[in-house]
A and B are shown apart, each in its own frame.
Chain A
């Protein structure tokens, strides 16, 4: 993992050292407790964000892992007499194991997105708390830790708890920071934006989510283990409370859940607000306040307090960086790939795919030769998009053979197919909303066949943005682009992985004639540099101008395959499009 700003570790050390010596100032004990609570919530909110903020999989079960940590320490220290400090890493590990176990199953379920994952994690909390409550782990009366010996710092065990709390918060926030700037973090954000697109770009989504979940739970468990010693008396109701999960979510959202520092800001702010307004006393007022802030934040301030600040900065930077718009230019620094023109690159043999009774592809056989531009046409519903989805790995084949450069694609997951050098665009552009234009393109370079690291990928991405004429929009968010620019972004992203095969799905739809001419020019240049192109289109003039060969699909069958002008005059092609009278 690389760090973007050199002073950051220094910053962390300074802040850490500064906070570490606070107890020695002799302030009233209240301050230490207050700061400790801030550290605890910073750790909980940040650890929640590592999964849920970064990937968008909202976990409502953070309380389960926190509680698991609490009870691991309680059980090990009280029932087994372990030294307190040794229980902490075990608490973290056990919580992480739970998380990975749940994630391993849950993330495999393809349709388990959004609310379902939230409910699942909620249910897990209840199950875990019931088990703890009814077995010897707690059994009902709660567990007393007051007898557990704690090492003393600054003259009392409270000082140790303070320092440990600080340490855990620092480690958690530092991890969030490191992930945020790493390749893994980029992948997580891509998952948040559009998981299907991320997978097809080469992001190993399952693995990334699982590890993020595990890490998130680890820190929650760690914090729980420590908090057990702070509380000295733990009960199931308090430890596994729904409120723990909701508070963590709230604090993270309040500060800004997609940023590594947002949750800490939220934790600090919320703790301060709650303490100053209610003196930590009135639980009723606490709850009303939390409820009100929850509602206000999620409706009116979805980016969070700190998040909004960060986005505003980013937008300002993007506007300042807008240079003169540059026309699409072919840059020469990347070597054109030596192609073996004429050899078979993609082979489809008897490919079949059906959906709920509709045979979308019925024994499709075709070959794509290296170095050509192949047009794929056919009336609506003929199976063109389905074929692209099958080749890129979004759909599984029902039958037949599909091979690319000799490799069998049928058994591969989509991200592995991307690694082989297959890339595609979407008819309706699907950029990742959370990432800048530059990062959208860099994503492909990072997870494509070359798997560049973040800075190198960004450098490559610049090149492709210049190539497609989007250089002045590099730091902007995709939402600010118009349709033409979003199509160019699709193209740049598809090219950034330097694919051997590029699948273009109706890239011209919605473009004006001038924009279309520019796009066609770009595609020609792409082919000249050694990329094979499959070009799905309805705009017939473009097909006739651009393609070397055309395959016509109708009702999932290949009905023609040959030179464009010849094919479009064949009787059954004319009949497929216009009907019998014309043939």
Chain B
């Protein structure tokens, strides 16, 4: 049985990781919940963002956090274009899964082509900074990632809850026909949410570059866990997703500390299976 400190440290890192799960899954959750489209491309886009951050920071010496200024609008545009392409190709809910998997394959392969399969590590000043709370270490990049994730989730939730556009988004998700009867333009909202999702993925990518060593194949490693978080948290529910992400992150971390690291994935997928079997209406 590991020491209390070790356990608490695990919980903390699980917490931070959970926030990142939430951020990474936010685009998927929103577009699935609101547009009934399962868009796996966000994972590949996140890694594209990660590699771009790495490139800008390493080769052009741009501060990694400043790269966000480029990434956010650029990826937003990408998301808009992607949604427009889906509409024109007539992609519906089911084939969206396969089409976006195809896109993910292509983007990931292109990433490998450009940056090779070699591991890439972004060395930045941020990585060296960490705080101490009692006996616990709090590394700055992870903390930042978590805070940004939490802020973005909260802001998105607030946007959906309190603004007109947010409410229109929720209405059109439920009944696009009647929402249109009251003036809600579904197509435009769909572009907006897709753009947002891609921008979120880009942000997540920037932090992944700050925290982890990059390799193209890692795109796939995150898909399963984030999917689980999205479904457990409830589609289109930013705060639910964050909570689910944290739940999964913490349980994984504790499992790793108590047993062996390899058992961690079992947690999220068993939870996912249970949710699918017991609460299929979540989808």
A binding-site residues for B, Cβ under 8 Å:
58, 105-106, 109, 111-112, 114-116, 118-120, 122-124, 126-127, 130-131, 133-134, 140, 242, 246, 249, 284-288, 290-295, 298-299
Contact = CB atoms under 8 A, between A and B. Distances in A.
Given A115-B283, A116-B276, A130-B265, 6 more contacts: A106-B277, A112-B277, A130-B266, A140-B262, A294-B102, A294-B105
A123 B262 contact: no
Q: Top 4 closest A-B pairs, CB basis?
A: A291-B105, A294-B102, A291-B106, A287-B109
B95 interface: yes
A120 B265 contact: no
Contacts of A122: 224, 227
24 contacts: A58-B94, A109-B277, A109-B280, A112-B280, A114-B94, A115-B94, A119-B272, A119-B276, A120-B273, A122-B227, A123-B228, A123-B276, A127-B273, A130-B266, A133-B262, A140-B262, A249-B98, A285-B109, A286-B109, A290-B105, A293-B102, A294-B98, A294-B105, A298-B102
A120 B94 CA distance: 15
Nearest to A56: B94
Contacts of A140: 262
A292 B110 CA distance: 12
Nearest to B265: A130
B99 interface: yes
B58 to A, nearest CB: 22
Nearest to B277: A109
Interface string B245-283: 000000000000000101101100110110011001101
Interface residues of B, number: 41
Interface stretch (B85-93, B147-155, B193-201): B85-93
A145 B268 CA distance: 32
**Counting chain A CB atoms within 10 Å of each CB, which of B99, B112, B260 scores highest?**
B99
Contacts of A112: 276-277, 280
Contact of B109 (A123, A127, A288): A288
Given A105-B277, A123-B273, A126-B224, A287 B105 contact: yes
Contact of B99 (A124, A127, A299): A299
A119 B272 CA distance: 9
B217 to A, nearest CB: 9
A357 B132 CA distance: 56
B101 A246 contact: yes
Given A106-B277, A119-B227, A130 B262 contact: yes
B38 interface: yes
B273 A115 contact: no
A298 B101 CA distance: 12
Contact of A284 (B97, B113, B262, B270): B113
B231 interface: yes
B281 A111 contact: yes
Interface in B163-217: none
B56 interface: no
A122 B90 CA distance: 25
Contacts of A58: 94
Contacts of B89: 299
B108 interface: yes
A134 B269 contact: no
Contacts of B82: none
**Counting chain B CB atoms within 10 Å of each CB, which of A120, A126, A288 scores highest?**
A126
Contacts of B280: 109, 111-112, 116
B143 interface: no
B269 A294 contact: no
Contacts of A119: 227, 231, 272, 276
A269 B211 CA distance: 43
B103 interface: yes
Contacts of A290: 102, 105
Contact of A299 (B90, B266, B283): B90
B83 interface: no
Contact of A291 (B109, B220, B262, B263): B109
A123 B224 contact: yes
B13 interface: no
Contacts of B97: 115, 118
Contacts of B231: 119
Nearest to B90: A299
A292 B106 contact: yes
B31 interface: no
B39 to A, nearest CB: 13
Given A112-B280, A134-B260, A123 B272 contact: yes
A205 to B, nearest CB: 17
Contacts of A288: 105-106, 109-110
Contacts of A116: 276, 280, 283
